[in-house]
Chain A
Amino acid sequence: MNGLLIACLLVPMMTAALSFILTSDVKSRGVISIFGSIALLMLSFILLYQVASGGPVSNQMGGWQAPMGITLIADMLSAILIVVTAIVSLCVNVYAVGDISRDRIAGGFFTFLNMLIVGVVGAFLTGDLFNMYVWFEVMLISSFALLVLGGNKVQLDGAVKYVAINLISTVLLLTAIGLLYGLTGTLNMADLFIRVPQVENQALVTVVAVLFLVAFGIKAAVFPLYFWLPASYHTLPISVTAVFAALMTKVGIYALIRTFTLIFPGEHSVVDTTLLGLGLVTMILGVFGAMTHSDIRRILAFHVIGSIGFMLLGLGLGSALAMGAAIFYMVHGILIKALLFMIAGIVGKLGGSFELSRLGGLYQERPGFSMVFLFAALALIGIPPLSGFWAKLLILEAGLHHDAAIVITFVIIASLLTFIPLMRIWLEAFWKPQPLESGPKIVESLDSDIIVVENGSVKSAVPLVVPPNLYIWTPVLGLSAVMLIIGLMPGKIIELSDTAAKTLIDPSAYIDTVLPNRSAAPGNLNEVQK
């Protein structure tokens, strides 16, 4: 019936396959991949338009009606996130053409990158828990491949930790799905909304909910399950880090939002309080972690964790207002993380290192680029009128609405503290004069075929690094423009995320789309909450 949802999955999948089969030329592979992501971006905007005008869109695979078959469904939340994913995919694809080394592309970099996008989009679109597990695996396997592609020692070391913890999360997720199936006899998420309250043994339901919390919590890098993230992200080529930091953890958050609004809504206050507490701790620890590091990539990796905390807060508070704030924060968080990591990549290319103590003088050399970094940093911190400000303002508003003084206090503290590590990057890498070190030192590999040799000062190392080219500047500037527009005109996106939040709180539209013939639902289904 509706081929749009399928197309959103098939376009990146075909791009992945075709970019590898059709050509072995490095540039052509990149071009095919870029065209694929442009197509995905257009499809995602059509999908967003359809969902915004006509409510959730669904499709039953193979003509098997729900809850028997596998359902694909896009409600507002999925549609927004797919648009954002497509934007990130396009930016990273372009950036990768300029950044990723030849041997990595020959090894199938673009194939794995596009398969990763397939997994992410699939996870956003599916209406079936087991299918979600499968998409998670598609995403995970592609991410594994990207992790080790062209791997040096450090990369392999990071990969071992990443793989180990993610596999445990996979097994937990599978176990939770199995137990939930045993309790309810269905895995269709809309059907689960109806069946889970009918389960006699509600204590067991809570146990399953906690299993889901742990499994998705590992993926989302929630305290105390986040150690794999700062251990692995900084070992990767910057394009890969950008796409991981932007998307991977947010898929975990999406899954948490989906499961805890649709499958385990409301009643399990224990879990909700836990989510709130975890959100607070994750937020603060992310910022503190960022302060202790001096490698730009690791500072940013901890900021990824910090922003996860903000999103969890929205979910933990649980009202439509808070959920809308969390969704807006997700949009902001995904885009700003991709932007910051791509900027960090340029810093690395210009300065020859990611280590703050070795960097310096970038403002003198590149005042224009410095302004781009300053803009992105201020947007992350939340200086009005940039996007981070609106995101945090919405969370604060939701906190005020709930009289949650502790939430407000923590959000303000975390926001203020975010200032410190980012301004440290600004002061050290951009503002201070270039450090002069003595003697030829350090062989740092930015990439498998780019070796930086420091000789006397950082400046002498620069010519050895490939200078950033047009492929690298375009996505950075483009994404900055998008962020600027979001910051200046947040109204439309806030409106969309509020609609998404309302569908989450009252999923009757979602349920009716998946199960059109199911009118005999529990009473609370049609109860419209504000």
Chain B
Amino acid sequence: MNSLIFSTISRLLVGLMLLFSVFLLWRGHNEPGGGFIGGLVAAAGIIVYGLAEGPGMMRKLLRIAPQTLVLIGLLTSVVSGLLPLLQDSSFLTGMWLFIGATETEKGLGLGTPLIFDIGVYLVVVGGVSGMVIALEEEL
């Protein structure tokens, strides 16, 4: 699409949407949100950029081939599930690390679910944008 306005705005939008997607990913740790929805927002941002600049630029923006991104995400999630096995718990059990925890305060909780969510995020970003790239290149 050759529109100056759209291509200018899309650059702004893609940054905002990527930022928002990371916020959603983080928020999903304890509240509604998470890797899937975050990944969708990120993918939507990349797609907006791709609509303005063409599928070639989308590939450039992603840097890694979308299929590889999906599989890296899959591996990340699997590894996050495997970590608790070291502790003799079941696969996918949540492991938590509380930073700065005191008697009364819970502190900042970081857990394997976050790693799992990051994996999901990567799978969704790779999957959705890969699909759109394939379609755009086709049309």
* A contact residues vs B (CB 8 Å cutoff): 1, 3, 6, 10, 13-14, 16-18, 20-21, 59-63, 108, 111
Contacts and interface: CB of A to CB of B under 8 A. Distances in A.
A111 B92 CA distance: 23
A61 B78 contact: no
B8 interface: no
Contacts of B94: 62
B67 A62 contact: no
A59 B89 CA distance: 11
A63 B71 contact: no
Interface string B84-99: 1100111111100000
B83 interface: no
A13 B78 CA distance: 9
B93 A10 contact: no
Nearest to A5: B91
Contacts of B90: 1, 59-63
A62 B88 CA distance: 12
Given A13-B74, A13-B78, A14-B75, A21 B68 contact: yes
Interface residues of B, number: 18
9 contacts: A1-B88, A6-B81, A13-B74, A16-B74, A18-B75, A60-B90, A62-B91, A62-B94, A111-B71
A387 B61 CA distance: 57
A52 B90 CA distance: 23
A14 B78 contact: yes
Interface in B56-108: 67-68, 71-72, 74-75, 78, 81-82, 84-85, 88-94
A16 B74 CA distance: 10
A59 B75 contact: no
B71 A21 contact: yes
Contacts of A17: 71-72, 74-75, 78
Which A-B residue pairs are the 8 nearest by beta carbons? A62-B92, A17-B71, A63-B93, A6-B91, A63-B90, A17-B75, A62-B93, A17-B74
Nearest to A16: B71
Given A1-B90, A59-B91, A20 B67 contact: yes
A61 B91 contact: yes
A161 to B, nearest CB: 22
A248 B28 CA distance: 36
A1 B84 CA distance: 10
Nearest to B73: A17
Contacts of B88: 1
B3 to A, nearest CB: 34
Contacts of B71: 16-17, 20-21, 111
B96 to A, nearest CB: 13
A17 B88 CA distance: 25
Contacts of A111: 71
Contact of A20 (B68, B78, B81, B85): B68
A62 B81 CA distance: 8
A80 B88 CA distance: 27
B113 to A, nearest CB: 9
A228 B64 CA distance: 37
A443 B119 CA distance: 46
A329 to B, nearest CB: 33
A117 B74 CA distance: 16
B65 to A, nearest CB: 9
A13 B73 CA distance: 12
Given A14-B75, A18-B75, A20-B67, 15 more contacts: A1-B88, A1-B90, A10-B78, A14-B78, A16-B71, A17-B74, A17-B78, A20-B71, A59-B91, A60-B90, A61-B92, A62-B94, A63-B84, A63-B90, A111-B71
Contacts of B74: 13, 16-17
A504 B85 CA distance: 31
Nearest to B64: A21
Contacts of A1: 88, 90
A20 B68 CA distance: 7
Contacts of B85: 3, 6
A20 B67 CA distance: 9
Contacts of A61: 90-92
Nearest to B75: A17
Contacts of A20: 67-68, 71
Contacts of A13: 74, 78
Nearest to B88: A1
B29 to A, nearest CB: 16
